[in-house]
Every structure is written in C-alpha cells, then in structure tokens.
Structure 1
Amino acid sequence: MFKFGFSAEEDKSEGEIFKEKQTISWKEAREVNPNELEKLDQFIEDCSTNSIEVQNKVISYISNIDVVLKLINDSNNGECDGVLTAEENHSDLLVGIYEGGLKIWECTHDLLNFIEMENLTLKDKKVLDLGCGAGIIGLLCIMKGAICHFQDYNEEVIRHITIPNVVINNSIESAEKFRYFSGDWSSYINLFEKEISEEDKFDYIFTSETIYNPDNYMKLHNVFKSLLKTGGIMYPLLYKLISRNLKSIFSL
C-alpha cells in the first residue's frame, strides 16, 4: 500500500533521526537555472497550492504530496532518486541522500514570525535561504525587497518545489532574477568562493532546522564564516534535539 512518509508524525526520536554512521557520498554543488526547467508552467498547473499567512503577507506554495506523486509518475531518468528513495523508506531524512527539503518544518513558521516581528529591513539586502526546501523564508524576504539566493541539498527539491514556489508568488521572469543552488555545503562554499567578493557576500543568512547531524556542524560554521559579509547577520533556527549543542557549533 502506498504511504507518504511526509505525513508521518512531526516529532522524531533521536534514534530515528541519527542513523548508524556510514560512508556518505555527498552531492556536489551546482547552480540550477530556471531556464533549464521544461514545462514549468504545466508542472505548476498540475499541482494544488496551499498558503501561509504571516501578518498581512500571504505566501503560496505547491503541495508536496502532489509533487511526490508527479515525481513517482514522471521520473524515469534517476534525477529524483533522493526524494523517491526517502518515500520508499517512509522517511523525512536520509543522510546524504535526501535532506528533508519537501517538508515545511515547524521552525520555518517560527522564523517567519520572527522576521516579521523584528520588522527587519531587507530592501535591496542580499539574503541566503540556506537549506531552503520550499523556499518559504526566501519568499518572505523577497516580499520585503531582498535579493535572494536559495540553496538546498537536493537538486530535485530546487527544481520541483523551490523554483515553482518563487514563480507562483512572483512570475517566471522574476524567478530568473534570483539564484538557486543544490548540493553539499562544503562544495557550495567552494563554488561561491571562486567568484564572490566581500561586497557581494550576504547581508543575512537564514536557516531553520537544517542541521540534525553533528558531522555537519563545521560545514554550517564555514558557510557563515565564508559567505556572510562583515557586519552581516545570521539567523540559525535549529532542530530542537541539537539546540543544546549550539555552543559546539559556533565555537568551532
């Protein structure tokens, strides 16, 4: 019987999240261009939409269930193996294979509310939505006038949910103004450092519930250190199981 792992209970025990350590082949980072996506309009039209309201702003996003169904029905070239493998295992997370990008995690709502309550001035600021998944945080920043980059581990998430969500809240033309990246944080940093100057680094980096694996603490630390401009601000809202280890992340 078919079952969606994304509808599983929100709170996972530590044993379910932290899998037995094994050799992991991390995905190399690459930039994803919206122009690469074929039949994007049709893909969006075939998916139902939901919305999140933050004060007076409404953020629309396509149904992750519809996306998974389409990937199951349409994928025949292996590009969506991460999502499909996670679905077969009824899992929200598979280390190094699928990093949970189709699910809107609880802390996303907390970070949205924080950004609005703090009334952050983001107009013309350069923002990185790190581990963006559906891109909800980045979409709010765009509504506040930011220039946004989106990054998620799985390319299929960027292609099939992040970019479509930017399109339905803006337009295809607007989506092309922003940049999208997939892959592991280490190679993402290397990709950026080939071209980025201090002036072009990020004013803000937002991330929520992206680091459940202690092996990735240094990677997160290095993203902040390498890509945040002098005087820039990071807002990491982290998975509750490792909140007790915040000092170990930022003292590296």
Structure 2
Amino acid sequence: MIIKKVEDDGTCFAECKEIQASANRQYDLKNVKTKLLNINNTNIQYVCNESLLDILKSNQDLSEDSILKAEEKHSDLLPAVYEGGLKIWECTYDLLDYLSENQVDFKDKSVLDLGCGAGILGIYSLLHQARCCWFQDYNQDVIDNITIPNIELNCKESLDRCRFFSGDWHSFVDLSEKNYPGKKFDYILSSETIYNTGYYKKLHLVFEKLLAKNGVVLLAAKSFYFGVGGGVHLYQDFMDSQKVLKHTSCWQSTEGVKREILKLEFL
C-alpha cells in the first residue's frame, strides 16, 4: 500500500518506506525476457520492458500498478504517481561509460543509486566490489518488478549488501536518519533526476544529509529538459545559491542532445 502525504502547497507525495527483497514481485523471473548490456567487458543483464509490460497487463489484480498507469497514458512521467523508472534513460549509459573509462574505484565503498529505476548504476558498483548499495526510486512497483529482479539476474549473492527504498526524497532522508542514524555514502550515483525544478530542494537535501564528508556525487543529466523545465545549468544555479556543494562538469556530449556529467563535492 502506498501512503500519500500532502505538502504545505497542497501537492501529494509518496511517503518513503523500505522494501524487502523478493516480497512483492508480481511474476516469476523465469517467465520474463531479458536483455544484455556490455560496458567494457562488464556484462549487465536486465528485464526487457516489453516482456514485463505483457506480464503485468495479464494480471487482473494490478489495475493500480503505477507502471501500467503510465503505459496506458503513453507517458514516461506522471508527477507524484510514476517518475520514469521503467526506462533506462540516455544519461545512464553516459554515466556507465564514464565509470568504466575512468576506472572509478568502488571497492569497499558505500553507494547510493538515487532514482535508480532499473538499478543499472548500483549493479555496476556491486559488480565492482562495492561494500554495500542502497537503491531508491519513487515507485515501489519499479523496485519490486524491475530493480530487485535485475540484481537477482546479475549478483544475487549481493542482495544481503543491498537495501531498497521507495518514495519521496525528503521522506527518504527522514527515514534514513531515523532508522540508520549516521549512514553516509562514499558515492551517490544519479541519472536524469534534475528534470523538474520543483524537486531540486529535496534532491539537494539528500546530497547534503547522506553524502560522506569526502564523498562524491556523480550526476548525469541533459543540459535542458524541453517541456519539463529543468536541466544542468538550472541545477548548478540552485547549488550555488545553497552554498553547500561545489560542482565540476567532468564530461559533455559531443553530438545529439547536449548532456553532461557533474561531479559534486562538499565545499
């Protein structure tokens, strides 16, 4: 059951909760088709979207599933309902390539895959010996039916080093500080999470409260999100106004839609 709360401005949000692995998946993993992603000899297997949708559509008990609601409306985003977790977004591939090409060292590091969707970034860190990884996405349906299955496909033996959370970012910080006081992350990995300027304050709160003192945020995003309003430069301006984090553009695309990877650290 998703518990919704209301902000002071009247907007609703899903309260964060921790999710137990294997408790809520709506299908047998053996019945879903998968695809393979190769990042410089690191192979990551993941659930095929089309196959998953076919399975979910065949289940008459899932009329309230947020993934199906978005599919019915042919939308990648339904604010405060579904935030795009089914799709592996373009900037995720950018960040994977960056991690590989720069040989980012995850050995014995604590990692947060924020806005994880399919969980590909966190899975990559686990395959490269991260000590632990937390996965957070707005939608529990995404965590149950996509994120956790993908971890089982790639590194099932690492499940005991993972924790899973669904819901709003501010609520996620509150839950983390209550249930895991002092928990900090060496790396926070996040892709395509700055498309909505209305979320900037909450996103910044996660970085401020959960990043280790000498930790690093790697944030991949488009320079501008047409039709939504956010983008890299707007988020840089927001960070500058907060005077908590410094930011460096460590990669930019050379073709197509302009995309960047930002490295964030405490001032």
TM-based fold match above 0.5: yes
Aligned match for 1:32, one of 6, 16, 19? 19
Counterpart-to-counterpart distance in 2, 1:128 and 1:150: 6
Residues 145 and 79 of structure 1, relative CA distance in 2, 3 Å threshold = farther
Q: TM-score, normalised to structure 1's length?
A: 0.85
Partner AA of 2:43 in structure 1:
V
Residues 191 and 106 of structure 1, relative CA distance in 2, 3 Å threshold = same
Structure 1 residues 144-159: aligned runs within 5 Å: 144-146=128-130, 147-159=132-144
Q: TM-score, normalised to structure 2's length?
A: 0.80
Instruction: Provide the aligned C-alpha RMSD in A.
Output: 1.7
Unaligned segments of structure 2, at least 5 residues = 1-8, 225-230, 243-267
Larger RCO (CA under 8 A, 6+ residues apart): 1
Unaligned segments of structure 1, at least 5 residues = 1-21
Structure 1 residues 135-150: aligned runs within 5 Å: 135-146=119-130, 147-150=132-135
Partner AA of 2:76 in structure 1:
D
Aligned match for 2:97, one of 105, 113, 117? 113
Shift of 1:28: 0.7
Contact 2:109 2:187 in 1 (8 A): yes
Aligned match for 1:165, one of 120, 142, 150? 150
Q: Does 1:133 align with 2:117?
A: yes
Q: Does 1:216 align with 2:199?
A: yes
Aligned match for 1:182, one of 144, 166, 170? 166
Contact 1:134 1:165 in 2 (8 A): yes
SS of the residue corresponding to residue 229 of structure 1 reads strand
Residue 258 of structure 2: aligned partner: none
- Structure (1 or 2) with the greater strand fraction: 2
Residue 39 of structure 2: aligned partner: 54
% same residue = 41
Counterpart-to-counterpart distance in 2, 1:178 and 1:67: 23
Counterpart-to-counterpart distance in 2, 1:29 and 1:196: 14
Residues 46 and 35 of structure 1, relative CA distance in 2, 3 Å threshold = closer
* Alignment coverage as a number of residue pairs: 226
Contact 1:210 1:239 in 2 (8 A): no
Residue 236 of structure 2: aligned partner: 247
